[in-house]
Amino acid sequence: MIRTVEALDALRAQVAQWKREGLRIGFVPTMGNLHAGHFSLVELARRHADRIVASVFVNPTQFGPDEDFARYPRTPEQDARGLDDAGCDLLWLPAVETMYPYGASNAVQMRVPGITDVLDGAHRPGHFDGVVTVVSRLFNQVQPDVAVFGRKDYQQVAVVRYFVRDLAFPVELVVGETRREADGLAMSSRNQYLDPDQRARAPELHRTLLAMRDAALSGADAVRVEAEAAARLQSAGFDVDYAVVRRRDLSEGGGIVAGGQVALVAARLGRTRLIDNLEF
C-alpha cells in the first residue's frame, strides 16, 4: 500500500531505512494529474530499483506569469490511487513552503547555460531555470539511485542530464517512451484543456512529426521540412512556436546525421500549448 508523505524528515527517515536495508531507490518526479504515461514511468522505474518514490508538486518557479500555474489540475487523491496500482511505494507531496522555505521568489536559483537558450527555453523564458531549481531540490530530498523522465519533454531530459553531470549528482537517468492515445496524440495533463474541436485537431501534431521524419529521411533539406511542417500545423489551426529537425543533442544539423535526429514541435491550440517529438 502506498504511503503519502508531506514532511521532509518523514521522507528522509523512510529513504534512509530503505538504504540501510540495501534497497535501490527509484524516483519519478511529476506535477500530478497523472495518466497512463506517468504510470508507465513508475513501471519502468520498478525495473531499475527496489522501492519507488514519486513526487507530485506543481512547481511555481517553472511557470511564466501568463501560463497555467493557477489552473493546472491538482488531483492528489486520484494520483495516489493510480500510483499505488502502478506499484509505487511512496508519494512525496511537499507543500510550496516545504520546497521553498524562503518562498518561491527568494529561492536559490539554478540555471543550465546554452541548451536552455533554444526551443522551449526561448519560448518560455525562465522555464528550465525553474525545472532545474526544483529537480535538484527533489534529488536532494529523495536521494534516488535512479530517476525516470519521459521522452515527451525531450529538452527537459537534456537539461537534467547536463546538470546531473555538471554537479556530479549520483543519480542514474532513465528515459521512458512517450505514451500516446489511439489517434497518436501524446498523453499530457494539458490535453484536458482542449475543447472537442481542438481535441479533434490535436493528433495533427503527431502526424506532422511522422511527415517530418519521412521527408528528412528521403533527403529533403531541414529548412524545407521545417517550413512545410509549420505550414501544415498552421492550416490545422495551430499557432506554431517551433517545428524543427535537430541532432539528438539539439544542435542544428542538416541531412542525415550519424547518431540520429529528432523532430520537435511546440504549438498552441487556443490557450493550450502542446509539445511532442520523434527520434529517427
Cα–Cα distance measured from residue 179 to residue 165, given in angstroms and rounded to the nearest whole number:
27
Contact string (CB under 6 A) for ligand PAF, positions 21-40, x = contact: --------xxx---------
Nearer Cβ to ligand PAF, position 46 or 137? 137
> Is-contact 28 43, C-beta < 8 A?
no
Nearer Cβ to ligand PAF, position 131 or 216? 131
Q: Which three cell numbers stand for residue 182?
A: 489511439
Q: 3-state class of 234 per DSSP? A: helix
Least distance between ligand PAF and beta carbon 131 (Å)? 5
Least distance between ligand PAF and beta carbon 150 (Å)? 7
Contacts with ligand PAF by CB under 6 A: the residue count is 10
Among candidates 62, 27, 23, which has minimal Cα distance to 41?
27
Nearer Cβ to ligand PAF, position 148 or 194? 148
Among candidates 154, 266, 278, which has minimal Cα distance to 215?
278
Contact string (CB under 6 A) for ligand PAF, positions 130-159, x = contact: -x--xx-----------------x--x---
Cα–Cα distance measured from residue 248 to residue 227, given in angstroms and rounded to the nearest whole number:
20
Chain centre to alpha carbon of residue 40: 13
**Position 90 contacts ligand PAF (CB under 6 A):** no
Active site includes 127?
no
Nearer Cβ to ligand PAF, position 29 or 176? 29
Cα–Cα distance measured from residue 32 to residue 213, given in angstroms and rounded to the nearest whole number:
32
Q: Which residues bind ligand PAF (CB under 6 A)?
A: 29-31, 59, 62, 131, 134-135, 153, 156
Catalytic residues: 38
